[in-house]
Amino acid sequence: MSVLTARMGAVRLRGFGRRHPLVRLVVMRACLGVVTLWLVSVVIFAATQALPGNAAYAVLGHTATPQRLQAVEAELHLNRPVVSQYESWIGGVLRGDFGSSLANGESVAALIGPRVVNSAVLVVVSGVIGTLIAGALGVLAAARRDSWFDHVASVVALGVTALPEFVVAIALVILFSVLVLHALPAVSAIPPGSEPWQNLKELVLPVATLAIVIAPYIFRMARGAMVEAMESDYVEMARLKGLTRRRVLLLHAFPNAIPPVVQVVGLNLLYLAGGIVVVEYVFNYPGVGAALVDAVSNRDIPVIQFVVLVLTAFYVFVNIITDVVALLASPRRRTAG
């Protein structure tokens, strides 16, 4: 391709990008995301495999037996130089081959794959429920600012933000399962092979825990964003134009409160990726979080690598989605350029 056509192509591309900020954003973020993921994979690899000394023994620690040592060395190619180890690992990853579990020799992808779906369901359902309820409460609190409802809700939110997931989980278990009521199972016994949505009762407590954990942040942001919108000059102007209170609230204030809330929801979804570790462990829910905990106990490196990779890929993905939604919700940025 001659220099001229290449330059023309670039100019046309630039013009296209300028006219379609949405497409440009997605493409740029996706490229950045790929770079980030690549660097993340390097970090994961460095943390787990690039070890000095007798790596296999360090990995297995006290569970080392001659057979296991051999298995680890073969699996992780530990006798080869680090860079080539990385190459073979990342090559496998890109092909979909995540190696075999050191614990039972099965393919990691086959073993943990289904769990990804389970965890995804947990995250999405908790995210949606938590966001809807907390968001609505936040808007309500802002509309009834300084009322008793507002004060109580804000104080409760402040308290709950400080609690770790395992405390919330245990508290729920105490309340609904063990000591006070006996309505819900303390452990999510989802039989292997069945889908989570076929066992709704098992989902209630884990979802409730996660939803409660993220709710206060979304509540505070929704309230804050609505308050700021309602104190803005354009809402004052709307009132002075004689518009009804409802129209001012819903059509003028609310759309301007969406972008910051979207950002916060995104951040909370990312937080959930880490939160499911503890919650799945407590409820014995068959997801990637519980798998990770087991893998760490067993020093099952390939599983650890797989799960962390999945979680970080989730981060990149959610980041892109959040940016896109925030862009869509803001006409100023949508039409700029």
Interacting residues with other proteins between 199 and 258 (CB under 8 A): 217, 220-221, 223-225, 227-228, 231-244, 247, 251-252, 255-256
CA angle 152, 154, 156 (to 5 degrees): 70
Min. distance of Cβ 129 from other proteins in angstroms?
Answer: 18
CA distance 101 to 206: 27
Q: Is 306 in the site for other proteins (CB under 8 A)?
A: no
Residue 300 and residue 75 in contact, taking contact as beta carbons nearer than 8 Å: no
In this structure, the number of other CB atoms found within 10 A of the CB of residue 291 comes to: 26
Min. distance of Cβ 272 from other proteins in angstroms?
Answer: 9
Among the listed residues 8, 27, 34, 47, the single contact to other proteins using CB under 8 A? 47
Among 13-21, 33-41, 63-71, 105-113, which window interacts with other proteins (CB under 8 A)?
33-41
Among the listed residues 59, 137, 184, 208, the single contact to other proteins using CB under 8 A? 59
Q: Which residues of 250-277 are buried (b: 16+ CB within 10 A; e: fewer)?
A: eebbbebbbbbbbbbbbbbbbebbebbb
Per the listing, tokens 């057979």 go with 67
Among the listed residues 101, 202, 315, 320, the single contact to other proteins using CB under 8 A? 315
Q: Is 117 in the site for other proteins (CB under 8 A)?
A: no
- Taking the least distance from each CB to other proteins, the nearer of 38 and 195 is 38
Q: How does DSSP classify residue 198?
A: G
Q: Is 188 in the site for other proteins (CB under 8 A)?
A: no
Question: Rg of the chain's alpha carbons, rounded to an integer?
Answer: 25
Min. distance of Cβ 265 from other proteins in angstroms?
Answer: 10
Q: Is 44 in the site for other proteins (CB under 8 A)?
A: yes
CA distance 118 to 65: 34
Q: Is 328 in the site for other proteins (CB under 8 A)?
A: no
CA distance 276 to 290: 8
Among 22-30, 89-97, 99-107, 264-272, which window interacts with other proteins (CB under 8 A)?
264-272
